[in-house]
């Protein structure tokens, strides 16, 4: 579970590097978290901040696309659960305004999909997209989430530029060395691995530990409060907070949730 702000920050940094090499059309992917409020806010913020950042760097002529990846972690084994996930994931993708959707199939947890399985997945997505018109969004909650994401992303981008003394490429290298950029669960030897994420009581992904990420006190307190609330709800002590990560990684394949998305 990569954090929303880290996913967006790394996507924007990759886009900058590509555009500096002459690319004029970029597609930035985002992997669904399972919190509809957070996922819609993420796609909106991803597009807006990428366009703003590139425009501020003198690249206003770049086409920015957003790609919504249906849930990328372990899928539920039960066919009905998998179908529900794919259908409602497509609803979220449509509501987010993403340019494209990367489609999963109902057999994701069990085997390599056949042609028929892929057709089934496409049908579920088509029906989900069509039904999105009848779904209501909590716009105040989405706006609040957008503000949280934007604050974190801007802090990371600014710190990377400062670390590279104006060079984004050099800043990325230095940022990974110092922990300004730190991707949870990454196997790279260049990643410090000091950051961990877990879900809050609403199902949104938050920081369990922030490591060397360049966040201010208010941002760090926000995540600490959300994680403390989750620990209390689950009856887990602070010293055993790592158990939240284990629970969240396994809850979807185990089917230990009411419905998808988790925030429903």
Residue 180 lies in a domain: no
Residue 200 lies in a domain: no
**Structural domains in the chain (count):** 1
Per-residue pLDDT of the chain (264 residues; tens, 9 = 90+): 789 999 999 999 999 999 999 999 999 999 999 999 999 999 999 999 999 999 999 999 999 999 999 999 999 999 999 999 999 999 999 999 999 999 999 999 999 999 999 999 999 999 999 999 999 999 999 999 999 999 999 999 999 999 999 999 999 999 999 999 999 989 999 999 999 999 999 999 999 999 999 999 999 999 999 999 999 999 999 899 999 999 999 999 999 999 999 975
Domain residue limits at 99: 4-134
β-pair partners for 231? none
Are 94 and 67 a contacting pair, CB within 8 Å?
A: no
Phi then psi for 187, rounded to 5 degrees?
Answer: -85, 0
Q: pTM of the prediction?
A: 0.95
Contacts from 202-205 at CB under 8 Å and sequence distance 24+?
202/35, 202/37, 202/262, 202/263, 203/33, 203/34, 203/35, 203/261, 203/262, 203/263, 204/33, 204/35, 204/37, 204/38, 204/145, 204/263, 205/1, 205/3, 205/4, 205/33, 205/35, 205/38
Residue 166 lies in a domain: no
Residue 60's alpha-carbon distances to 13, 14, 27, 56, 227, in angstroms, are: 16, 17, 15, 8, 39
β-pair partners for 64? 26
Residue 156 lies in a domain: no
The alpha carbon of residue 225 and the mean position of all alpha carbons in its chain are separated, in whole angstroms, by: 20
pLDDT at 264: 56
């Amino acid at each position: 579970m990569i954090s929303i702000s880290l996913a967006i920050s790394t996507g924007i940094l990759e886009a900058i590097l590509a555009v500096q090499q002459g690319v004029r059309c970029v597609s930035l992917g985002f992997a669904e978290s399972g919190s509809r409020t957070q996922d819609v806010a993420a796609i909106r913020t991803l597009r807006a901040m990428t366009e703003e950042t590139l425009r501020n760097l003198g690249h206003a002529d770049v086409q920015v696309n957003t790609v919504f990846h249906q849930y990328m972690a372990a899928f539920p084994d039960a066919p009905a659960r998998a179908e529900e996930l794919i259908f409602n994931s497509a609803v979220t993708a449509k509501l987010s305004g993403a340019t494209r959707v990367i489609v999963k199939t109902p057999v994701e947890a069990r085997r390599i999909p056949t042609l028929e399985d892929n057709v089934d997945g496409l049908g579920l997505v088509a029906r989900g997209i069509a039904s999105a018109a009848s779904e209501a969004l909590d716009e105040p909650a989405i706006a609040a989430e957008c503000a949280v994401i934007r604050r974190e992303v801007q802090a990371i981008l600014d710190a990377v530029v400062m670390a590279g003394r104006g060079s984004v490429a050099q800043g990325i290298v230095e940022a990974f060395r110092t922990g300004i950029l730190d991707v949870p669960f990454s196997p790279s030897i260049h990643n410090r691995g000091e950051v961990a994420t877990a879900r809050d009581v609403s199902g949104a992904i938050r920081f369990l530990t922030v490591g060397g990420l360049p966040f201010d006190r208010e941002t760090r307190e926000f995540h600490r409060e959300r994680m403390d609330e989750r620990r209390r709800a689950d009856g887990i002590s602070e010293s055993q907070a790592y158990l939240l990560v284990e629970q969240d990684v396994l809850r979807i394949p185990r089917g230990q949730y009411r419905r998808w998305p988790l925030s429903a």
